Every structure is written in structure tokens, then in C-alpha cells.
């Protein structure tokens, strides 16, 4: 019995010890809130701005092509030259076309003279026909004379129509050759600046050969792509901030003028076009830039 009492006393002492140690210690109390905070869901952050590479461009920039075969006999513009709409940039050898045009004009004159001659002949033959008809009616002329007069009148009418058709054909040929003469002039399709010259005086070019590149210098535009999943959606007249890749300290402002209506399936993005606001003179089409999207809410003055 004495040993059994000692065993019970030991069990009670172990239970009291366990009850005392169940209270959290200082370290355990500090760790509990930390674990609770770590388990809380993270708050979504605002969309961050991204840097999108782009290139400065203009609305109109084309390669001006030769519209006729020939040798370049005159250059009226060079790189950096300003050109008016319709202004001549170069002239091709037009001697052969001019000769053909002169011949066509001479043929037209001959045809016009023949029309006048046949009009007079028709008038005379119609008068003969009227006399023959009158004489046949009065019994003073034969049927053969009447038939001959009718034949001559109809023949003159057919000849006149034939020469009138010849006149129309000659006029069309003259007009076509006049157009060919104009095609020997390489002209600017719009006003701008010659950014590149591909030909030299003395070169023999074929129809479709690139001769010049013509660019408008304004309005200066920048085109870039925005992912369709981007939380910040572009809209017309929104501001855009850009910087030059060659000098990140030089920036410019622009405003969105167009948002593409479709999403490119390959990139998942749509095109956005913005027009620069009062661009600095040193900004030129073709310069590489970076666009900050979305633009900063408050932009500092451009350096």
C-alpha cells in the first residue's frame, strides 16, 4: 500500500506540472500574431508603369517610284530638300516620247482635215441625190442615175463617220502620250522633305524603280502597343510621356489620337497612336524612344 500511494503522488505531480507549462511564454505570445499576420491575404498592388519601346514616325512617308523607263537626265532635289505637292524631283529622258507625241498630233490634224473634207463631200452628194430624185420624179432622169446618186451620198456618210472615229482615236493617242511625257517627271505626291535619294544623274531606271523617299515632318507621331490585359486602358486625348533611347534625360509629351480597334492575336496587344505636343526641333522621324505607360499623373517640364 505504501508503494501504491507513492505512485499516485507522482502521477498528480506530473499533471500539475503539465497544467503550469500550458500557458504561452513570452516568445510564444510574440510568434502567434506574426503567424496570424502572415496568413492574411496580400492586398493587390496598383498597376505599375511599363516602358514600351517605339519609334517616332509621321502620317505620310513614301518611296517615290519612277513611272516610266528612261535615263535620269536631271535631279531637281537632293536629301534634305523641301518639295511642294506635285513638284518635280527628277526628270527622265523624254525625247522618244516627245517625238511620238509630235507624230500623233500631226496624225490628229490630218484626221480633222479629212473630216472637214468629207463633210463638204457629203453635203455635195446629198445635193446631187436631191436633184436626181427630182429629175427621176419628173421623168427626166433614169433609175440608174438615182441609184448612183444614193450610193455616192451613203458612201460619203460612211467615210465621214470613219474619219470622225479616226479623230477620236488620234485624240486618245495624243492624250496617252501626253500622260507618258508627264510620267517622265518624278513628282512629289505631297509636300514634305526628301529624306533619301536612291538615284543619280545618268542612271537608267525602269518603271517602279525607287527614286526618292519623301517624308512629312509634322505632325510627329509615336506608335506603340499596349497589352490587352493591362489594367490601364488607353483612350483618345490621354497624355503620354516618352524619352529618347539615346538620351533618357530628354523627354517629350504626346496625346493619344487613335486606339486600334482589334487585338493582335500573336502579341495580345493593340496599337496605340499618339501625336507629340509641341515637339522639339531636334526630334525627327525614325528616332528610337521609350513610352511610359501609363503616363505619370504629374509630369515635370520637358528638359
Q: What does the pLDDT look like over 262-275, one tens digit per residue?
A: 998 888 998 999 99
Q: Which CATH class is domain 61-92+190-215?
A: mainly beta
The proportion of the chain whose per-residue pLDDT surpasses 90, expressed as a percent, equals 58
Distance, CA of 55 to chain centre: 16
Architecture of the domain made up of 50-58+217-293? Beta Barrel (2.40)
Give just the sign of the alpha carbon dihedral 44, 49, 53, 58: positive
**Rounded (to 5) percent helix, strand, coil in the chain:** 40, 25, 35
- Distance between CA atoms of residues 153 and 117, nearest Å: 14
The pLDDT value given to residue 82: 92
The pLDDT value given to residue 223: 92
The pLDDT value given to residue 136: 84
DSSP state letters, 266-290: TTTEEEEEEEESS--TT--TT-EEE
CB 57 within 8 A of CB 276: no
All structural domains of the chain with their residue ranges: 50-58+217-293, 61-92+190-215, 95-183
The pLDDT value given to residue 47: 54
DSSP state letters, 69-110: -EEEEEE---TT-EE-TT-EEEEE--HHHHHHHHHHHHHHHH
Which portions of the chain are predicted below pLDDT 50?
1-9, 11-12, 14-23, 26, 29-40, 44, 299-303
The pLDDT value given to residue 34: 47
CB 75 within 8 A of CB 202: no
Amino acid at each position: 500500500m505504501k508503494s501504491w500511494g507513492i505512485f499516485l503522488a507522482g502521477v498528480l505531480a506530473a499533471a500539475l506540472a503539465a497544467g503550469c507549462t500550458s500557458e504561452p511564454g513570452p516568445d510564444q505570445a510574440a510568434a502567434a500574431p506574426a503567424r496570424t499576420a502572415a496568413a492574411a491575404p496580400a492586398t493587390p498592388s496598383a498597376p505599375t508603369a511599363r516602358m514600351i519601346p517605339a519609334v517616332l514616325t509621321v502620317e505620310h512617308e513614301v518611296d517615290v517610284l519612277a513611272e516610266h523607263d528612261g535615263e535620269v537626265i536631271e535631279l531637281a532635289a537632293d536629301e534634305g530638300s523641301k518639295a511642294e505637292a506635285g513638284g518635280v524631283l527628277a526628270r527622265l529622258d523624254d525625247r522618244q516620247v516627245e517625238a511620238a507625241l509630235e507624230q500623233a498630233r500631226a496624225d490628229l490634224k490630218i484626221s480633222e482635215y479629212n473630216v472637214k473634207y468629207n463633210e463638204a463631200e457629203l453635203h455635195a452628194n446629198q445635193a446631187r441625190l436631191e436633184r436626181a430624185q427630182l429629175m427621176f420624179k419628173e421623168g427626166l432622169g433614169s433609175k440608174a442615175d438615182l441609184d448612183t446618186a444614193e450610193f455616192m451620198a451613203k458612201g460619203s456618210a460612211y467615210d465621214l463617220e470613219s474619219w470622225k472615229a479616226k479623230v477620236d482615236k488620234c485624240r486618245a493617242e495624243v492624250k496617252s502620250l501626253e500622260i507618258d511625257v508627264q510620267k517622265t517627271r518624278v513628282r512629289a505626291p505631297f509636300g514634305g522633305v526628301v529624306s533619301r535619294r536612291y538615284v543619280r544623274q545618268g542612271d537608267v531606271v525602269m518603271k517602279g524603280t525607287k527614286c526618292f523617299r519623301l517624308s512629312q515632318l509634322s505632325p510627329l507621331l509615336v506608335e506603340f502597343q499596349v497589352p490587352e490585359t493591362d489594367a490601364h486602358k488607353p483612350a483618345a486625348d490621354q497624355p503620354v510621356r516618352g524619352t529618347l533611347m539615346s538620351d533618357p534625360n530628354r523627354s517629350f509629351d504626346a496625346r493619344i489620337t487613335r486606339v486600334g480597334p482589334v487585338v493582335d492575336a500573336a502579341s495580345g496587344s493593340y496599337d496605340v497612336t499618339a501625336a507629340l505636343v509641341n515637339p522639339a526641333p531636334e526630334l525627327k522621324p525614325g528616332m528610337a524612344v521609350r513610352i511610359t505607360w501609363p503616363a505619370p499623373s504629374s509630369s515635370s517640364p520637358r528638359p
